[in-house]
Amino acid sequence: MTTRVQMIIQTLQVYPERKFTARELAKKQCPNVATRDKPRPRVYYWQRNPVPAISQILIPAKERPNVDWQSANRIAVENKDFHHYIDQVSIYNQTDRLVASAWNK
C-alpha cells in the first residue's frame, strides 16, 4: 500500500512545474476530503536539482583539551537545540560515563 508521503511525492513529480498547498494535494488524492483554508498555507513543489541551504557559522570550532564552558553556555543560549548536547557533554565530562540512548539518535 502506498503511504501518504509517497502519494504526495508522486503528485509533485507528475506536476514539477506546479506549486501546491496541502489542501490542493489532498484534493488531488481524494476529491471528497474536507479541508480548511489557512491564512498562510505551506506550499509544496518538486525541485529537480535542489540547492542545499547555506548555513552561517557563528562560532568557528577549535579543538581544545578542556571544555570551554563559557562558549558552550553562549551557544546553548543562542541555539536551544544545542542545550541537550551540552547536558550530555557535561555528564560525560564530570562522570566519564556515556548515556548511549542520548548519543545514538
17-39 tens-digit pLDDT: 889 888 888 777 777 767 677 77
Please check whether residue 92 lies inside any domain of the structure: yes
Domain contains 78 = yes
Domain membership flag for residue 56: no
pLDDT digits (tens, 9 = 90+) for 56-92: 666 677 787 887 888 888 888 888 778 888 788 788 8
Q: Are 26 and 33 in contact (CB under 8 A)?
A: yes
How buried is 20 (Cβ within 10 angstroms: 0-12 exposed, 13-18 middle, 19+ buried)? buried
Domain membership of residue 40 (yes or no) is: yes
Tell me whether residue 57 is in a domain.
no
Establish if 54 belongs to a structural domain.
no
Q: What domain range includes position 9?
A: 4-44
78: cell is 543562542
The tally of CA atoms less than 13 A away on the side-chain side of residue 4 is 5
51 inside domain: no
Q: How many CA atoms lie within 13 A of 3 on its CB side?
A: 3
Cβ pair 86, 72 in contact under 8 A: yes
Count of domains observed in the chain: 2
Whether 74 is in a domain gets the answer: yes
